Structure 1
Amino acid sequence: MFDIISPLENVTLDFVSELQDKIDFKTKPQGSLGLLEQVAFKVALVQQTLTPVLTKPSIVVFAADHGVADEGVSLFPQVVTEQMVLNFLAGGAAINCFSNQHAIDLKIVNAGVKANFEQIDNANFINQPIAAGTHNFAQQAAMSKEQCLAAINKGADITQQQFDQGCNVIGFGEMGIANTTSAAAIMAAILNLSGQQSAGKGTGIDQKTVLIKAKVIDDAIEKYQLHDADALTVLQTVGGFEIAMMVGAMLKAAELSMLVLVDGFIASSAALVASEMNDDFLQYTQFCHQSEEQAHQLLLTKMAAMPLLNVGMRLGEGSGVAVAYPLIVSAVSFLNEMASFADAGVSEGH
């Protein structure tokens, strides 16, 4: 579906060695900039240049409603999805504050909210829903195969639009009441876990509701035999339109050799699906933070991901991407601007 090639296939061993030497022989002890050195290496490898540049950074927030909210798995009513979309468009959410702070272009996408946004005229709003929310996957599959593929393709189209406007670093966020249940179900199905291992407190539910969420997940995995299913079937059966659009958007970004910035638990579940669909996808990703959602650390570990931040966030919206972005800028800055030992006339260590 997407033609993603490992960035290592298009560079020589000499390039990789030269890049590592450039990082190692800056005026610092080797490895002393920690994870920033790994980020610099990744950005340069993705862009296949020793002097990478971040241009027109963008965050796309996909919003959709979930039928599984009917099972009582969320603290908030479904109407909050619509209300938060309006808040995004009014500039009043955390993601607005953080993206404005760091000059990141922000797009809001109605992937499938139970609301009518036809009257909204906003250049940063993309109103292309697949349907007014998914079905309740406790009763039937969340979406049809055709709907799932349509969402993936629409997400890819949105990334292509950002790329065509000069963007080469793109992050993804989401909004959707009950979408932690979908994300946890995706994780449990693909990684062969139980609902109890993947379900967390989401927006702040109590332990009794967490157990309800876990049972909904376990029952769905059993009902649809999802432990034996491929990732696309899992996404179709228990996913959401915003998660499916994120999958397509992420895969397209990797195909276009863009740096893909992954937010928290829900965005990571989309990255998990994308990684199952293409073995080379994760080489283009940078995970931005470890969420307080209880299963996120396990999910990151399964993808061998090292997030940039662990500051107790669990908001979604792409907020972790926006907060972590300056660290990526710093990584690129030291690679391009910091003197080497030879340039500065500083003696190297033995």
Structure 2
Amino acid sequence: MRDGSLNLDEFEDLIERPRGELRRAAEERRARTGLPPAGLGRLDELGEWLAAVQDAVPVRPVTEPRLVLFAGDHGVAELDVSGRPAGSAVGLVRSVLDGESPGAVLARRFGVGLRVVDMSLDCPEDELPPDVTRHRVRRSGGRLDVEDTLTADEAEEAFRAGMAVADEEADAGADLVVLGDLSVGGTTAAATLIGALCGTDASVVTGRGGAGIDDLAWMRKCAAVRDGLRRARPVQGDQLRLLATVGGADLTALTGFLLQSAVRRTPVILDGVVTAACALVAQRVAFRAPDWWLAGRSDGEPALGKALDRMALDPLAEHGLAVGGGTGGLLALRLVEAAAQLAHELPESVGDSPEGTAGQAADDDTSLPDPLDAT
């Protein structure tokens, strides 16, 4: 991306697909272990994907995973469409920073570095550490049902912030990122984006959100998404304008992060409907970009299923989680790490040894982690 010029069309040329021949080489190497075909199930598929995105056979272990959470409040929450009060996303952020949220607990347990990026929290900046707020674009966002969530300049600033964070993580050595959000009203924006890009009605993509809402709140949310769709559909061919119209600063930054991560060849695990909505927008910008992503989970949100189907991404797990903040993505990370370790350590001669897998020593002396245990 040239300095001083934000042209999303350039991503089409900048993003390349992972090398298919590496995926095939990993498949051939796996066959030479002597284990039964498909004996490792989804782990085999993940190992082949890792070989392609890492450009390496055998696969390297995942050693520097990161959890990156973009935070923001949405003006549409004023309509009581969320289980949390409007403007209260800062509470979610504090819970993460204090190490008390489910995502923060798992990140600490799994040894995953954690970063929170405030894009549009509705609180004074001095309430949070400077490294959290330094990319903030504004306080909250416009009500997507009646007004743009961002100005054109704010949308570009938020998109560039997401790109900058992706570059910072890649430069720091991250070899895989779990991507999530901390928002109030974010699922309403996500449903609107997905409904517009999938050509569906509001009732088809409107769920009850991570905080859970009753029937009356769901009806209000449906109405907000319906009105947002009326505003979004005329501009859906211009992805940055679409994000400015109904996305808000956090979703705009998430989209920039996803695209720049693909440019930098950094694989990403998506966590939940908000990140999936941004991925769907990013796919419209660069059709090769989804090859660099995994869907960490399904969560019962109807819009999530629509988005993942459109991108041909199959979620790694269905835990029944209603919380976000990277929780499901971190559980999926355990599976990816296990797949990487197996693809790295399983010797090709295992099927020829009378001792089987137990009689073979790996080139590397690291032990295989349980996918649900700590590293």
Q: TM-score surpassing 0.5?
A: yes
User: Residue 263 of structure 2: which of 229, 235, 255 is its match?
Assistant: 255
**1:135 maps onto 2:142 in alignment:** yes
Residue among 139, 164, 168 paired with 1:157:
164
Task: Identify the residue that residue 200 of structure 1 maps to in structure 2.
Answer: 207
Q: Choose the corresponding residue for 1:245, options 253, 259, 268.
A: 253
Q: Distance in 1 between matches of 2:115 and 2:41?
A: 32
Q: Kindly indicate whether residue 313 of structure 2 is the aligned counterpart of residue 305 of structure 1.
A: yes
Deviation per residue, 1:135-157 (Å, 9 max, x gap) = 11122111122211211110111
Structure 2 vs 1, CA of residues 120 and 214 (structure 1 numbering), >3 Å: closer, same or farther? closer
Q: 1:126 to 1:224 in 2, by over 3 A?
A: closer
Change (3 A) 1:187 1:119: closer
- Mapped to 2, the partners of 1:117 and 1:242 lie a distance apart of 16
Instruction: Report matched runs for 1:269-280 at 5 Å.
Output: 269-280=277-288
Matched residue, 1:7 = 18
Is 1:187 aligned with 2:225? no
| 2:35 corresponds to 1:28 | yes
Cα offset for 1:343? 6.7
Among 327, 330, 333, which residue is 2:335 paired with? 327
- Residues 107 and 126 of structure 1 are in contact (CA less than 8 Å); yes or no, is this contact kept in structure 2? no
Compare 338-347 and 25-34 and name the one that shifted more. Answer: 338-347
* Cα shift at 1:251: 1.0
Deviation at 1:258, TM superposition (A): 1.0
Q: Which residue of 2 aligns with 1:214?
A: 222
Q: Indicate conservation of the 8 Å contact 1:57/1:104, yes or no.
A: yes
Counterpart among 23, 38, 56 of residue 45 in structure 2: 38
Tell me the alpha carbon deviations over residues 279-308 of structure 1, each in whole angstroms, 9 at most, x when there is no partner.
110110011111122332232222111111
TM-score, scaled to structure 1 = 0.92
Q: SS at 1:239's partner residue?
A: helix
Taking a change above 3 Å as real, the CA distance of residues 232 and 347 of structure 1, as seen in their structure-2 partners, is: farther
**Distance (whole Å) between structure 1 residues aligned to residue 326 and residue 350 of structure 2:** 41
**Contact 1:130/1:151 (<8 A) preserved:** yes
1:341, CA displacement in angstroms?
4.2
> Structure 2 matches for 1:87-98, cutoff 5 A?
87-98=95-106
Is the 8 Å Cα contact of residues 189 and 226 (structure 1) preserved in structure 2?
Answer: no
Aligned CA distance change for structure 1 residues 340 and 262 (closer, same or farther; 3 Å): same
User: SS of the counterpart of 2:126?
Assistant: coil
- Count of residue pairs brought into register by the alignment: 343
CA distance in 1, matches of 2:277, 2:231: 21
The Cα shift of 1:323 comes to 1.4
Q: Which range moves more in the overlay, 280-289 or 295-304?
A: 295-304
Matches of 2:239 and 2:324, distance apart in 1: 22
Aligned letter for 1:73? V
TM-score, normalising length: structure 2: 0.86
Give the Cα separation in 2 of the matches to 1:64 and 1:119: 14
Task: After superposing the two structures, state which structure 1 stretch, 287-296 or 88-97, moved more.
Answer: 287-296
CA contact (8 A) 1:189 1:234 kept: no
Q: Which runs of 5+ in 1 are unaligned?
A: none
Measure, in 1, the Cα distance between the counterparts of 2:280 and 2:250.
14
Change (3 A) 1:293 1:16: closer
1:73-125, CA deviations, whole angstroms, 9 ceiling, x for partnerless residues?
112112421112112111111111010111110001111101113254476x3
SS of the aligned residue for 1:289 comes to coil
Cα distance between partner residues in 1 of 2:129 and 2:188: 32
Query: How far 1:66 sits from its partner (Å)?
Result: 0.5
What CA RMSD, in Å, does the superposition of the two structures yield over aligned residues?
A: 2.0
1:228 deviates by 5.3
Contact 2:76/2:145 (8 A) holds in 1: yes
Write the letter of the residue equivalent to 1:277.
V
Identity of aligned residues (%): 22
Structure 2 Cα separation of the partners of residues 84 and 227 of structure 1: 32
| Residue pair 2:26, 2:47 contacting (<8 A) in 1 also | no
Equivalent residue runs for 1:95-106 within 5 Å = 95-106=103-114
